[in-house]
Amino acid sequence: MNEHERWMEVALAEAREAGLAGDVPVGAVIVRDGVIIGRGRNRRELDGDPTAHAEIVALREAAKQLGHWRVEATLVVTQEPCPMCAGAIVNARVRRLVYGCPNPKAGAVTSLFQITTDSRLNHRVEVFGGVLTEACAAELKTFFAKLRKGPSHQ
């Protein structure tokens, strides 16, 4: 297991916790010098906050721990970030982004947009996609299958 896979396993644990709490199972960790400085999981439903995506939660924690907004670390997330999160990743000066499965409906790293590598912006991020793709996608598929069945079908 390589370093990206190791940290993705930690992000997957965060994603599972989000799913158990009724939120879409996406998890993230931010790693700097081999140490986790931020963790996040989707909390939109739990917090009633449309910006409480896993990446944003992790970035806020990392910035608080560092005492400044320039995170300059690796962000590992189970699903390709949306436009809001990709913008936050650029603004936080994340150096490297590692993501699991693509996000064909809202992905802003490779699927629909390429925000994190757009040369017109003042910062670009090194991107590694497709890390533990099947495991990351399985969490989402299971969650949405249960959601579609609803409580009356369980």
Q: Structural domain boundaries of the chain?
A: 3-149
Listed in order, strand segments (DSSP E) in 35-149 are: 35-41, 74-79, 96-101, 126-128
Q: Which of 9, 45, 55, 134 is catalytic?
A: 55
pLDDT digits (tens, 9 = 90+) for 102-114: 999 999 999 999 9
What is the per-residue pLDDT for 75? Answer: 99
55 catalytically annotated: yes
In degrees, rounded to 5, the angle at the alpha carbon of residue 4 between the alpha carbons of residues 138 and 107 is 55
CB contact at 8 A, 74 and 30: yes
pLDDT digits (tens, 9 = 90+) for 2-29: 999 999 999 999 999 999 999 999 999 9
pLDDT interval class at 152 (50, 70, 90) = low
According to the CATH classification, is domain 3-149 in 3.40.50.300? no
Q: Which residue from 103, 104, 78, 76 is spatially nearest to 89, judged by alpha carbons?
A: 76
pLDDT interval class at 140 (50, 70, 90) = very high
Whole-model pTM: value is: 0.95
